[in-house]
Amino acid sequence: MLKNINLQKISVIGMGLLGASVTMACRRAFPKVFTVGYSHRASTRKKSRQLNVAHQIAQTLEEAVHNADIVILATPILTFETYFKSIAPFLKSGAIVTDVGSTKHLVHQWANKNLPRTVFYVGSHPIAGSEKRGVEYARDDLLTSARCILTHTARTNAHALKILRHFWSELGCNVVTLAPKKHDQIFALISHLPHVLAAALINGSDFEDMKFAGKGFIDTSRIASGPADVWMDIVLTNHHNITLGIDQLVRQLGRMKKAIAAQDAAKVKDLLETARAKREKLIAYKLKKRELL
Amino acid sequence: MLKNINLQKISVIGMGLLGASVTMACRRAFPKVFTVGYSHRASTRKKSRQLNVAHQIAQTLEEAVHNADIVILATPILTFETYFKSIAPFLKSGAIVTDVGSTKHLVHQWANKNLPRTVFYVGSHPIAGSEKRGVEYARDDLLTSARCILTHTARTNAHALKILRHFWSELGCNVVTLAPKKHDQIFALISHLPHVLAAALINGSDFEDMKFAGKGFIDTSRIASGPADVWMDIVLTNHHNITLGIDQLVRQLGRMKKAIAAQDAAKVKDLLETARAKREKLIAYKLKKRELL
């Protein structure tokens, strides 16, 4: 449980799949804490009220963040700078501000530039989601067993970091910390690149051919069904690392092509077996960490 | 049900996941037909007997195919030519020979060259499987709702094709037919290329980075866990089409990279949204065809 803080109100800005799942998980993990959700869309506010995902769905940003102990941005990344500016005047002194964005380096810069010195920013990236979107797909167990990365710099308040570590742990996450630059490098390769790759695979495929697709193709391309606007923001806020990742992948495909074109059986088998063994080692690690359920 | 044929014995050579699933499905779909399995490995024959996947597990190839109405090869593709030669002397006149290999053009050539004119070859490719391998993972419903491609050329006997169409349909498959060359072109792009891609993604990833992988990375790379020897055979017997597929994918990745490096938001969103919409259309098609269960 949270220690040394009298947590009374948690506000989540953005009632999409992830934002609403956070409010729902908060209600379950912190039954005495007042949870508030906000969406700029009247239709989403209405749906969120109907689905009862938070104690209150605020009409305005001011109402949403007023007196909140923790404010969590769960909107598309490219809206974060504007939201930091908009909520800045209404944040109480000592409030902790975080977000659930998939890139972190730029977000730290925006927070640093736009939030008052009286509040504490820490980056959060819960590795949870789905190719589905919208409050109607929210679940109070979406974060269960998910890894959550907290990002911090030399400026980050240690007490705020500690509180958020407790917060996400109570919501069921395995919390680890990283510097925002390192975070963005890693996620370019293991999250953003696979998305770009899945989209490239689909874009390069003929629809009539795709009708023959089996489970392999369906799984390999699954993340290409994710919301384009959300992923556009991720890609644009991590463009340098992702282009490096594309270059690296193209080099790997070149190695494959060379071995296949030469019909070099030993080399082809070696490349496939190396991948197989490495992935099996990854699955074993993930099962041990209980991150695959 | 099969018409115009008094089907009495079906033989499957190769008791891996797919071969044993075929014998199990035969026992369910054709309870009066005698099913025989064969493996060149004594240990696999023993396991197959223990698991009771067929009425008989033959000790020799001759015993396995003797008097069989349908003989199905379910071994790695690069063994097919040798098996055609080995079984040729023991096949009864009028027997239908097929296989479950993932490439078809070379297999038709091998069959044509090595099987006697008294038997009928038709290619089969049931789109079923798993990254698991071995008779212990066999299931009698593995083929349920799977698409099964039958390949035929001008030489193919129409009655044998008709019988195999009934056969796979009774096992639960949605049967379609293709020319072997067309089959290999399509599957290079929607099956073999995704496998190569998944392996390249894993090979290009640092293991420490992969520890942060979420569900997206796990799904995108799933097929890389498939057996390297099986996939080596597939890749080598379809090398030309696969290298063309790699070239095409690299071009698509180049388009992505260009838009991302230029931070061209409209173009990035367009590429991602095109992929998203196209995949959703594919999923809708597959659901309608009941091929996604």
A150 part of contact set with chain B, CB < 8 Å: no
Mean pLDDT of B240-246: 98
Query: Could you tell me whether strands B34-38 and B123-126 are parallel, antiparallel, or unpaired per DSSP bridges?
Result: unpaired
Amino acid at A141: D
Give the C-alpha separation, B21 to B26, whole Å: 9
CA distance B40 to A88: 73
Query: What is the model's pLDDT at position B202?
Result: 98
Interface of B with A in 239-258 (CB under 8 A): 239, 242-243, 246-257
Phi/psi region, residue B94 (left: phi>0; alpha: psi -120 to 50; beta: rest), is left
Q: Give me B110's structure tokens.
A: 């091998």
Measured distance CA(B190)–CA(A217) in Å, rounded? 6
Residue A96 in contact with residue A164, Cβ under 8 Å?
yes
Other C-beta atoms lying within 10 Å of the C-beta of residue B147: 21
Asked if the Cβ–Cβ distance from B282 to A223 is below 8 Å, we say no
pLDDT tens-digit map of A113-137: 999 999 999 999 999 877 678 999 9
Instruction: Please tell me which of the candidates A216, A247, A269 has its beta carbon nearest to residue B194.
Output: A216
CA nearest neighbour of A228 among B7, B180, B256, B234: B256
| Interchain contact, B275 vs A224, CB within 8 Å | yes
pLDDT of A5 reads 64
Whether A287 and chain B come into contact, CB under 8 Å, resolves to no
Whole-angstrom distance, CA of residue B187 vs CA of residue B182:
9
Name the residue ranges covered by the structural domains of chain A: 9-178, 183-261
**Amino acid (one-letter) located at B16:** G
Tell me, what's the pLDDT at B2? 43
CA distance A66 to chain B (A): 34
- Could you tell me which of A3, A177, A24 has the C-alpha nearest to residue A104? A177
Chain A contacts in chain B segment 158-187 (CB below 8 A): 186-187
The segments of chain A whose pLDDT lies below 50 read 1-3
Q: What is the pLDDT of residue B4?
A: 52
CA of B264 to nearest chain A CA: how many angstroms apart?
A: 8
Mean pLDDT of B111-116: 98
Residue B87 reports pLDDT greater than 60 = yes
Mean pLDDT of chain A: 95
Which of A255, A271, A276 minimises the CB distance to B225?
Answer: A276
Q: Render pLDDT for B136-169 as a digit per residue (tens, 0 to 9).
A: 999 999 999 889 999 999 999 999 999 999 999 9
Q: What is the pLDDT of residue B1?
A: 39
Which chain B residues have a beta carbon less than 8 Å from that of A126? Answer: none
Distance between CA A102 and CA A76 in Å, rounded? Answer: 9
pLDDT at B5: 64
Chain B residue with minimum CA distance to A292:
B215
Question: With b meaning 16 or more CB within 10 Å and e meaning fewer, what string describes A66-100?
Answer: bebbbbbbbbbbbbbbebbeebeebbeeebbbbbb
- The two domains B9-178 and B183-261 share their CATH topology (first three levels equal): no
pTM of the model: 0.88
Range B183-261 has CATH code 1.10.3660.10: yes
Main-chain phi, psi angles of A157, to 5 degrees: -75, 125
What is the CATH superfamily name and number for domain B9-178? NAD(P)-binding Rossmann-like Domain (3.40.50.720)
For B10, phi then psi, to 5°, come to: -120, 130
Rounded to the nearest integer, the mean pLDDT of chain B is 95
